[in-house]
Structure 1
Amino acid sequence: MKKIKVFLFIIAILSCGLLVGCDTTGNTEDGGTSNIIQLETPQNIRFVEYSGNSILFFDLVDEANSYQITIFKNNVYHSRIDITNEEAVLGILLKDLSEGEYSLTIKAMAKSGSKILNSQASEAISFTIDGSGDISGTKYNVVFDSNGGTQVTTQLVSSGNCASEPTKPRKTGYVFVCWLLDGAVYDFDTPVISNITLVASWQKSDNPDGEDIELSEYYAAAKDLTGTALKNKLRSIISTNVKNTTYSFLTSSNGLPYTDADPEIAGNIILFYGKVSVKASSSWNREHVWPKSRGWFKTSGAGADIHHIRPEDMNVNTKRGNLIMGIVSGGKNNQYTNGVSGGYYNSNLYEPIDSVKGDIARIYMYMLIRYAQTDSSYPITNVISSMQLLLQWHNSDPVDEFEKVRNERSYEVQGNRNPFIDYPEFAEMIWG
């Protein structure tokens, strides 16, 4: 097995005296004093490539004279390394790491006479040891502190990649301004090289009942509306000047091969449930994401609505069937021929992959707004376990660039838009 040379690379000039005395004490139950003092937690832990090796950086902690590195493999304790400041300066070699998924934490330590100083363990960083014994695939947590607003899901981002700007949180009586990192406006084009926490910045709203949002001209008539009033107005907006598409049109070059085109491979189309790219000229189904057997339509109206119908592999589509969307435990994997998963299913439910859950939620919300049949005879529970789960999927899988482009092209083709792609916050304004 090839050993991994990972050096703890410290860019710092150590001043004389590695340990600064600390007089902080605490009371014990017997009326004496405690010699355990809390150090700051190591921050900014990251791997950086240097001369063919993966170098581990982190910010030194004042008063610490040693560090404890704890390594986990597949979330199970693997090993621990104790190093002094001097050893940290010289570099540390992580040994005996076979192929697999790992994470590590770092704790600062110090001892001066009878005083023991330590810190909480740092946030874990994740990394992968590949088959050749090299470190790859380091991932970091991007935590979103909504600062009193609605919850935003933490993102796990590969080192050097950028976090996706999430759906804006909402907070009654406030307008969302931006995300802050250490008090500065965060740029989502910044590569992520360590665990970070972004904090929501808010401004008092002139609307005491909720957040003000600037609407495009297309949605101008919906300004200041919420709840049923907003739902009804959006229905009117997206039902006006609509060009009816036919089921046969969807397979034409101006139909799904245009709206669902692979942005990177000319002549290819993206299959829905697994985001698999295939030639548009190959065989694929026109998938009713809201199954026909659970709806009021066949192959016209809602059954030919380009916002609703997606291209899909025939075999994957057959296994998806008309199952209700929900959370599946211990189900079967609905795989494409190339091994990519299109979701999991059992006899009652179908659970799509995480990166498709938001897409499905926004299709279903579009159907709820666009078609009055969903108001009574065909409720949302015909197709998904609950409205709560739909909103959860909408928030956990934010709108991506592919959805935005598809929405624009669908507008070109059909003359209406999906409001929940343009303004994800509409979901909570109606059903929150």
Structure 2
Amino acid sequence: MRKLLALILFPTIIFGQDVLINELDADTPGIDNQEFLELRTITPNSSLDGYIVVFFNGSNSGGDSSYFTIDLNGFQTDINGLFLIGSTSVIPFPQFLIAENTIQNGADAVAIYQAPISDFPEGTLATTTNLVDALVYDTSDADDTELLALLGETTQINEGSSNNTNSIQRADDGSYFTDTPTPRQLNQGGGITLNGITITPSLTQVDEGASFTINFVIDEAPDQDLTYSITLDNNTFDANDFTGATTLTIAQGETETSTTIFLVDDALDEGDEVLRIKFENLNEPIIANNNFIDVRIVDNDFTTANFGTPLSPTYGNVFSTQPAGYYDSLDGLADIALAAAIQAIIAEEGVVRAQTYADVIDILKEADQNPLNSNQVWLVYTETAKAKLDFQTTSDNTGTWNREHTYPRSRGGFFSIEEDDFNDGINVFWNTTADSLRHGNSDAHALRAADAGENSSRGNQHYGQYNGPNGNAGSFKGDVARAVLYMELRYNDLSVVNGFPDITGQLGDLATLLDWHRNDPPDDYEINRNNIVYQWQFNRNPLIDQPDLVEYIWGDNIGDTWNQPLSVNQNMLSSVRFYPNPAAEQLIFTGLSAKTQVLIYSIDGKLVRNDYVENQTPLQLNLEKGVYFIQLNTDENRPVNLPLIIK
């Protein structure tokens, strides 16, 4: 009887559309994480197949064109005829999820079309063709008369000034009003009352091998036992990683229940993981107040490298993986000719690759990995470590890390394109040249993992204006100097100059950066980083491999002729050889005068083989594909270091 009575109490709807915009909250206090759009159908539980929602940008740069489109195929409204679109921060939990801070404040518009999503690629001008319903709105902005006309509307609705607590709601007579938001409730009352369950874990971060409790509280006690299930699976976290009940009952007349989850302490180095608490089978009028609740699982099986952090640097444990002869073309050159020859190597068209800005996240997780904990990245400037999982994904940068352009985007003239939003992996890349200045946006040699708040504090200041946070030890300074000087060599129209210029394409202060370079030489961490970026971009930072080049281009040796310094080890390379390289199953060494120790290291500095070989005797490998480094210890106790590729 309760359900039948509620249906009878639906207010009379005098508007005629099958699907309409019922409520919009485009601007919320703080970081805009609770904005939402609500649709309504005259008939409850109606299919939304064939409909799309399109958001239009009314700003001058947006040109009254689409910036976000949602395909509603496969969805339906609820028992009150409502369909809620919002982020995971919206309460109750939306039926369709979008990222936080997606909906723009206005003057903008949202519209429903009966059309395929392919009709509205990003940047499509607003139109009345196949239009079902539209709302043009603002947050105390001037009317966008062009957008109103394009959508056939005459009135622009004001939600309120910035950071307001209102939403725009449609009344039963079809008019609009503003009031306290009512997601998944009829705006003027009536309908079936939904009963929400709230998830509350006792901890949001738990060590592997420990346990925690998940509490569930329902708004109103059920009149019969309520049984439901949850799942915890998320990416690599699955049923093998925990024990504990996932089917639960809230007893008749009670308002809460709980379960204890025990995390399995395995011996696998899986990295930190995140389990996600999700309701599996709630049936209306029982709904989720919140959902997709994350709990971080801290892996205790992390690995460490054989080299130190920039704050506690080591030297001589990591070796450059530059190919033999990589810099030979520089010998005998000076000044402008030397710089041009460097650029010919590190910007060679058809060899050097440019990756997307999203790919840089994956590159930094590897290149800036904390040597003391493989589950963390090492942060430039603040000289601390942060969990890889703490990458900033919303407008809130608290406790997160992000990508820092050591050569700021605004000063270099770099920019992103739509394709930059996709991490398509190491084997998908753009062709690039010395003139491809846009690719400076995602050049990992000059991008570093950074504390998000400190990155914001640095802004686009020149070095010398910005010297890092108070009390820093300066462990990043040489790294930063070599990164931005690399950018001048790599890209045309970039330079590093004295002073603090306000000209796009110029960065200062050269004198400061030369001082930083001289006082903080390349360490194992920076060499390892150079090796990893090389695997992605097929170019190296020559100022790390050959740091004296800095003096020949910008410093005390300008005008002098460059020749690569030959160490005892390099001289010995003329007689010691191995083949094939790349190798698959075995290596054969030549030029050895006696039985010699062979140490093979992985790219991150781990010792993977320790053998003794004789001249022309095969060494069986049994190694995974990748880049390695061979160290030969001769009877004179002078190591010879050689790069090796396993195919």
Settle same-fold status: TM greater than 0.5: no
Tell which structure's C-alpha radius of gyration is larger.
2
**Structure 1 length as normaliser, TM-score?**
0.43
Larger relative helix fraction: 1
Point out which structure has higher relative CO (alpha carbons under 8 A, 6+ apart).
Answer: 1
